[in-house]
């Protein structure tokens, strides 16, 4: 469950990843597992949220979201520049298509930042969040890109490929509804039709977790 709130800093500002209890690979020789979904909306890779298909590329996707949040100083799930955008990532795709990706940089930085380094991180974030897991880089390559050892290829992603209308409408509905509700939700999601809908449980005998929407969104 890679997200900003699970990255802890010690006194030396060394990052420590917490909360490993949600998902893991159970056998080294397995390349993927299918299991019930456990994670945070807005950080889960689409193939995992949709089909429960989990590989190391799911963490690459989540890292891309966190990188985008760090450079922009905004939350992927809470920042909505316009009503039609559910996530910060949606807006990033638009700016990338327009050639205005630097508009995402945290305005509090003013002019005291390297535009070259900012573009490297933003392009890397979009590369990591490619909707196709096979097109995402390995984390070893990500580290080399961050260190400047290898070039970051500018991602070519059309927003229409990542956000079908039905999916966007379903996520927007979930986003709005969840702001005003606290509910019991199983650590899984069902795809009903073409929309992501939380699977509410009203019967005994299932694993339940009392979750507020501040934890979900």
Q: At what angle do helices 115-128 and 88-98 cross, to 10 degrees?
A: 120
Q: Is 60 exceeded by the pLDDT of residue 32?
A: no
Q: Is 90 exceeded by the pLDDT of residue 53?
A: no
Rounded Cα–Cα distance for residues 20 and 30 (Å): 19
**Considering the entire predicted model, what is its pTM?**
0.63
- The region of weakest confidence among 26-30, 135-139, 205-209 is 205-209
Query: In the chain, what percentage of residues exceed pLDDT 70?
Result: 57
What are 84's two structure tokens? 């039609």
Domain boundaries, the chain: 4-162, 164-217
Q: Higher-confidence residue: 44 or 162?
A: 44
Please choose, from the candidates 167, 174, 165, 175, the residue with its C-alpha nearest in 3D space to the C-alpha of residue 199.
174
Rounded Cα–Cα distance for residues 189 and 210 (Å): 15
Asked if 136 contacts 198 with a C-beta cutoff of 8 angstroms, the reply is: no
Q: Higher-confidence residue: 167 or 189?
A: 167
Domain covering 4-162, topology: Transferase(Phosphotransferase); domain 1 (1.10.510)
Catalytic residues: 1
């Amino acid at each position: 469950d890679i997200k900003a709130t699970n990255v802890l800093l010690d006194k030396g500002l060394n990052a420590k990843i917490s909360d490993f209890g949600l998902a893991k690979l159970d056998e080294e020789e397995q390349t993927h597992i299918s299991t019930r979904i456990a994670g945070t909306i807005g950080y889960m890779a689409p193939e995992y949220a949709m089909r429960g298909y989990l590989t190391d590329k799911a963490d690459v996707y989540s890292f891309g979201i966190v990188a985008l949040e760090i450079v922009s100083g905004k939350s992927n799930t809470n920042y909505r520049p316009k009503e039609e955008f559910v996530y910060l990532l949606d807006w990033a795709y638009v700016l990338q298509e327009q050639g205005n990706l630097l508009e995402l940089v945290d305005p509090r930085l003013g002019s005291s930042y390297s535009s070259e380094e900012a573009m490297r991180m933003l392009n890397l974030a979009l590369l990591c969040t490619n909707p196709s897991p096979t097109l995402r880089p390995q984390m070893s390559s990500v580290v080399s890109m961050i260190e400047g050892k290898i070039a970051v290829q500018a991602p070519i992603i059309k927003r229409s490929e990542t956000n079908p209308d039905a999916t966007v409408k379903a996520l927007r509905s979930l986003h709005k509804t969840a702001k005003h509700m606290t509910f019991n939700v199983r650590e899984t999601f069902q795809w009903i039709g073409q929309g992501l809908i939380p699977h509410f449980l009203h019967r005994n005998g299932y694993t339940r977790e009392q979750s507020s929407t501040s934890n979900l969104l």
